Chain A
Amino acid sequence: MNQRLTSQIVRFSFSFLFCLGLLTPRFSHADSTAVAAAGAPAPAVAAAGGGDAVGGEAVFKANCKQCHAINDVVVGPALKDAHKRWPSKEKMAGFIKYPQKVIDGGNAYAKGLYDKYKQYMPNHDFLTDGDIDNVIAYIVKESENPTVAKEETKVGPSSPEKGSDEGSGLLAPVIAILLVTLSVVIVLLLVVINLVSKILGQKREDLNESDIDQLEGDINWSILFNHPLFKGVVAFVFVVMIGKVVFDKFYSIGIQQGYAPDQPIAFSHKLHAGMYEIDCNYCHTGVNKGKSATIPAANVCMNCHNVIKTESPQIKKIWNAVENNQPIKWVRIHNLPDLAYFNHAQHVKVGGIECEKCHGPIKEMEVVQQHSPLTMGWCINCHRETVVKTEGNAYYDKMVEIHQANHGTKKLKVEDIGGLECSKCHY
């Protein structure tokens, strides 16, 4: 009798688990996203102050790296010991600001550089004197005392997963209950396996009568199948499964997550942003200014590619576009509906959000794909979780003050400043 019960429990547990498995992928995915989001590093703190070379590194990465390296010739010369090749720091700074002026002004060394590389470096008059000092300090430091270990700057979750559309509020208790249920089931399973192996390990003659009965007896399946409760459960599970499939399918209409169309030019973010670590800002110039991050104009490509890899068939396509005055027709990947307003500057410049937060591991993408679902639930979820970057921005001072007065040390999240209100995105 005891064994009969055990085997029934085993069977029931399997079917229950099976059903659970079918029903829960949504929750488990949501779980993994939550973990991934929590594991993602906080936005990099801007290197303010803290030594010239450190600040210089940031400036170097943002403005120089596209064409220069310390030890290698890229587009322009290697910068190791560059400071020693100039008579004074002022001269060098002057050249960085207005190279063409210096070259045309007849400076012999500058002219030599031009003859060698056959190209003017663009003006860097937008850099402050402090920036340039910092860059020079960085070059000095790298020349004399090069950084050995290259820091890894990988950011973001490593595997793409289906996005979570549910709010996070109810999810945690549900997950906890599921985990408890699962562990109980696993323990039961272990007990049952143990029991079964023990029974199987016994010789037939050692078994008592009831065990033999159990072993030989046929299970009366028809009782189980005809039981109204069983029928009810099966029908219920079936309806729920079908319902879920239909709901998911309908829900995913218009969601283009994972959309990775072929582009007219096989541009690789993996190569440019990943390997060469070109700052996103260098090409996507609008990202700090307005709504659109902007796809770079062909002249931005040409800044480097009029010398680098000019023979590549892909680069030739850009050349052709410029020569024939035919703009390049990129396929738009991220398409928000017209009723939603999104502004890159608000998120990147003001909010200090990393590109990868929404665009995923872009530095590993050979072909860019839509990483996030871009659904309203996804937006709202982030607005609920994200802490507003209020430091150094006088706009938020009053709000922080009021928030602290009312909520103490609780962080000021986007939702606290009206980030969930309709007309922040819909007008």
Chain B
Amino acid sequence: MSNNNQTIYWRGYEELTNDLEFVKNADQEFNLPSDEEKSSFSDRRDFLKVLGFGVAAVSLAACEAPVKHAIPFLNKPEEYDPGVANYYASTFFDGGDYASILVKTRDGRPVKVEGNKLSSITNGGTSVKTQASVLGLYDNNRYQNPKKGGANTTWEALDQEVKQGLEAAKLAGQPIYLVSGSNISPSSNAAIASFASAFGSTVKHIQYDAFSSHGLLEASKEVSGNRVLPGYDFSQAKVVVSLGADFLGSWLSSTEYSRQFAKTRRVSPTNKQMSRLFVFESLMSMTGANADYRTNIRPSEKGLVAAALYNEVAKLVGGTPVETSAPSTNRYIKQAAEQLVAHRGAGLVVDGSNDKNVQKLVLQLNHLLGNFGKTISFASPALIKRGSDSDMNQFVDALNAGQAGAVLFMNCNPVYDHPRGGEIKAGISKAGLSLSFAYAPDETAASCKLIAPNHYFLESWGDAEPKKNCYSLVQPAISPIYKTRQAEESLLTWAGQTTSYYEFVKSYWKSNLYPLQKYGYGNFKDFWNYSLHDGVFEVNGANPRTIASAPSAGDSTAVASVAPAPVIISGPEPAMNFDMSGVSAGISTDYKVSNSGFDLVVYEKVGMGTGAQANNPWLQEFPDPVTRACWENYLVIPVALAKTLGLKVTEGKTIKVNLKAGGKSIAVPALVQPGQNSGTVGLAIGYGRTETGKTGKDVGVNAYPLVKFLNGALNFTVNGVSVEANGAEHLVAHVQTHHTVMGRPVIQETTLEKYSKNAADGRFFPKITTVNGEEPASAFSLWFNDEEARMNNKPEELEGTTNERAKGPNKRPNHQWSMVVDLNTCFGCGACVVACQSENNVPVVGKQEVLNRREMHWIRIDRYYSSDMSKEKAKKESVGMLDMYDAMEVASDDPEVVFQPLMCQHCNNAPCETVCPVLATTHSTEGLNQMTYNRCIGTRYCANNCPYKVRRFNWFSYPENKEFDYNVNNNLGKMVLNPDVTVRARGVMEKCSMCVQRIQEGKLYAKKEGRRPVDGEIITACAQACPTEAITFGDLSNKESKLYKLLSEHKDGRAYTLLEEINTRPSVVYLTKIRNKA
């Protein structure tokens, strides 16, 4: 076999260093039993005893079948039918992560969250947190009653006490503080205003963000006059420069930006253009991983890098440079500046810091480049972050000074997620009245006297304005499970208003939004009903109803399948005032080139976010896209530091280190991260919760207290920290070194330049040398007969024209389900992983089982690093073979990263099927590799024979098992289970089914209406969740399908299947990764 043009990838630091432990375990998919487990093995006597009891129990149980009941409605609602799902449009919002969603409810309970295609912001995309949010509703730990001092009370008693407390504060002239996270709901803000008016000017509404954007908001205020975030449109940008802004992962509205950015990364024979992404960052983020050019910089030099970029641009376009010292590295700065200038008006510079000066410089840079009104805008600002660090500081000061008459906490948890949390905790007791609206226990609620539990958002009414002129509604998908009350309704009650919050929202929309509508609805009732049905109302958007064929209320799918052309930036830009005085001085004082000690970056993880959903087991078990570790946070350290510490991370085995920052010292496990700046360490927020349910409690450490202030804003980089070995050993649940690929070329990639010359560049074509010369590997097969040819999924061969053997009866008379994954638009966010978990009842197994390599996710996103050396390069530079392999083992400073979603490949020549002794895994005539749980006897032959390692074995019974005390171990948590998917028993194999339940449902809809399914009507959960549409699912036998067209377009170019040389003929096709680099 020849391996042309392959960059060598290594899966982790362990593989690179060829560690003994790694090599030993590399080919074992399932860990060997531990000593503890071995000791629990049963002997022959035990076996006989169990057998005897078992037989007796079965015979007894079989004597009488249990009586089951069927309880119908007394009065059935018209729009509801048991067993048929209803979808309700709603809105998810958590710490900047906004998504317009459709909530799938079955038999009255929400079971799944899907993206809403009608929103111009998310356009059907979702994030990991959005997908996981449905589980929060069934958190067994939620408050079930209002509480006073830890004991249950009634709403009447609570109302009375709160009213008294508020009146007392009002009389005493003490301020009433209402602290909340960024409140993007106009109705909620109106309700707060109405509450404030009832208690006079003493009410102060403080908004803050745990992961603050105060610096950008203040810079925007000085520039545009409004304290708003600029609106971004990455889809119009040909060059994007990110200065530490993880806009694909955790920065602001990353779902929206991912979708926009993906539009510029779709390369095809007809569109050989692609944006170019430069990233300058300290840690390795998801955005950095997707960069075309990445430079690691030290956080303490961040401002200098921004200034250097600015000065380069200013030099080229003739602006005034700012005076600062130069950063220690200027790698790619010049190229970035040149590219930006070459694409003026089609470039975008974003910055992730919370420093007003740097943000102002970046805004000025965008202005200099003429990007305003095109890729960045103050005319269509984003409103998802509104928090003020200075307001929060004033509040904490006042609270500790004992000035607060009353303090109410709404949708926030500052005791945990604010650096001054300790002070807040101490100060709360000084307030006359302290109350939290938390729906489940948190650190702040634990310090408050009263708890007025809020509804979960899936039980609530409300609205949101994530962007100017873009509104969406929140509607309940279930009636409240517990005796909770919506926070706004509580505020209105205390303000003496008797209207329900539903009426309040409705009347707000009637008086404020109805007059804005240009949809042509004749009356408010229609406007309201259709807005509620669509979930969104966009002032400048097209009416979805003029696009859709028939406006039928209650039928969300009919309308939701049509996406309107998004209006991202509209209207003239407001006058901008770039007063740059003080900027260069500020940057010069705050940023210095330094080589001593380490800088700590406190960052946000894509899955866990700010920690509000820490008790969500799906999120805890979600592996971080870059580190691939789950169930805790850890100190990511650069390779150089690992060498100093003498640390080798092997099989998750690592040590704890003492991180000393600003007088605080915490012991935290270390994890080596290639590509990270050698003077930087990183720690994620969102962990170390102390007051929450069992799942999230005491998992990891809390990084918030380490955050410091800079120019009045939270500074998420801490300079001058030290790291020393602690001595204690630790295991990090790390999934990347599992499921090995045996070094085969599963990642195929090229550059844009090479691609435009040769569409098949970077492809690996396995060849076998025969007497007739080299022949493609696909010409040889274990299944060498005409069946095999008919069951392949190459479009041209389906035609039966090029391959003689393809003729004969069609073995796929109905459908041929298939999937295309574009590696170029998969940014690795992992929304698909949790979507699949939610759709397919995938159990959570916990940290220990992940360490045992027994995680159950049906889809995983493999992350591969590459090294600089390649065979091509060695040839060019005439490097000897031994030197070349040596060089391949040396890590580059900025390794390139590729993400690859991997699920069951549904091979048409499936190796798993031939080895099952009981025919539990078979092939369907629709091209699906079927897994029949009730037939499986658990030999695991199939998993051993699967070359892709996508099969999962149920080592335990996870439901009703106290060893796995997650959501399916309690009756409330089980409500989230999808009723159409079997909960697997112990001892059976499972794997991706290509969402066969969704396929069957979609087919039935079509059959009932006597038509063929429409393309896009049947779609898997992963494809639905994907914010970038990197996954395309469809019917290959439908020539009109997007999938067929995509494959036809790429069949001689980017399309490849994994391990083509073994001729398994997968139904999942990948498109090569393309980088836009020289």
Contact = CB atoms under 8 A, between A and B. Distances in A.
Contacts of A392: 1010
Contacts of B924: 418, 421-424
B772 to A, nearest CB: 34
A345 interface: yes
B164 interface: no
B922 A330 contact: no
B814 A332 contact: no
B663 interface: no
A395 B74 contact: no
A346 B72 CA distance: 22
B813 A417 contact: yes
B1004 interface: yes
Interface in B977-1013: 980-983, 993, 996-997, 1000, 1003-1004, 1006-1008, 1010-1013
B72 A294 contact: yes
A331 interface: yes
B926 A292 contact: no
Interface stretch (A31-39, A134-142, A222-230, A398-406): A398-406
Contacts of B810: 402
Interface string B49-93: 000000000000010010111111111100001111000000000
A254 B58 CA distance: 11
Nearest to A264: B69
B84 A394 contact: no
B83 A286 contact: yes
A327 B72 contact: yes
A296 B993 CA distance: 34
A219 interface: no
B930 interface: yes
Contacts of B82: 286, 290-292, 294
Contacts of A393: 1007, 1010
A328 B72 contact: yes
Contact of A327 (B73, B813, B928, B1006): B73
B71 A418 contact: no
B154 interface: no
Interface in A41-86: none
Nearest to A412: B813
B71 A325 contact: no
Contacts of A261: 67
B155 interface: no
Interface in A306-351: 321-322, 325, 327-332, 335, 337-339, 341, 343, 345-346, 349-350
A338 B959 CA distance: 15
Contacts of B84: 286, 289-291
Given A291-B83, A292-B82, A395-B1011, A422 B72 contact: no
Given A331-B69, A335-B65, A395 B813 contact: no
A403 B931 CA distance: 27
A209 B299 CA distance: 126
Contacts of B933: 339, 426
Interface string A374-399: 00000000000000000011110011
Contact of A299 (B75, B922, B996, B1007): B75
B81 A286 contact: yes
A403 B809 CA distance: 9
Interface in A227-286: 253-254, 256, 259, 261, 285-286
Interface residues of A, number: 55
Contact of B76 (A299, A329, A426): A299
Given A291-B83, A332-B70, A335-B65, A399 B813 contact: yes
A318 B331 CA distance: 81
Nearest to A294: B82
Given A330-B69, A349-B1008, A423 B74 contact: no
Given A395-B1012, A402-B810, A426-B982, A331 B1007 contact: no
B531 to A, nearest CB: 26
Place the interface of chain B in its size category.
Answer: 35 or more
Nearest to B85: A290
A422 B934 CA distance: 10
B908 to A, nearest CB: 15
B1000 A345 contact: no
B33 to A, nearest CB: 28
A198 B448 CA distance: 110
A394 B1010 contact: yes
B935 interface: yes
Nearest to A395: B1007
B808 to A, nearest CB: 9
B932 interface: yes
Contacts of B928: 423
A187 interface: no
Contact of B74 (A259, A327, A427): A327
A298 B74 CA distance: 5
A398 B932 CA distance: 28
Contacts of A332: 67-70
Nearest to A351: B1007
B68 A331 contact: yes
Contacts of B809: 402, 406
B144 interface: no
A392 B74 CA distance: 37
Contact of B81 (A290, A331, A343, A395): A290
A395 B926 CA distance: 14
B445 to A, nearest CB: 34
A394 B1014 CA distance: 12
A254 B63 CA distance: 9
B86 to A, nearest CB: 11
A329 B69 CA distance: 6
B930 A421 contact: yes
A389 to B, nearest CB: 10
Given A261-B67, A345-B1008, A299 B930 contact: no
A399 B812 CA distance: 9
Contacts of A296: 72
Contacts of B1000: 341, 343, 424, 427
A96 to B, nearest CB: 20
Nearest to A418: B925
Given A395-B1010, A426-B930, 20 more contacts: A290-B82, A291-B82, A292-B82, A300-B76, A327-B72, A327-B74, A328-B71, A329-B69, A330-B72, A335-B65, A337-B934, A341-B997, A393-B1007, A394-B1011, A417-B925, A418-B924, A422-B932, A426-B933, A426-B934, A426-B935
19 contacts: A289-B81, A295-B70, A298-B75, A329-B71, A331-B67, A338-B982, A338-B983, A350-B1004, A394-B1010, A394-B1011, A394-B1012, A395-B1006, A395-B1011, A417-B813, A418-B926, A422-B930, A423-B993, A426-B935, A427-B996
8 cross-chain pairs, A with B, having the tightest CB-CB distances, nearest first? A291-B83, A423-B930, A297-B76, A297-B73, A290-B84, A422-B932, A290-B83, A332-B68
Interface of B: 62, 65, 67-76, 81-84, 809-810, 813-814, 922, 924-926, 928, 930-935, 980-983, 993, 996-997, 1000, 1003-1004, 1006-1008, 1010-1013
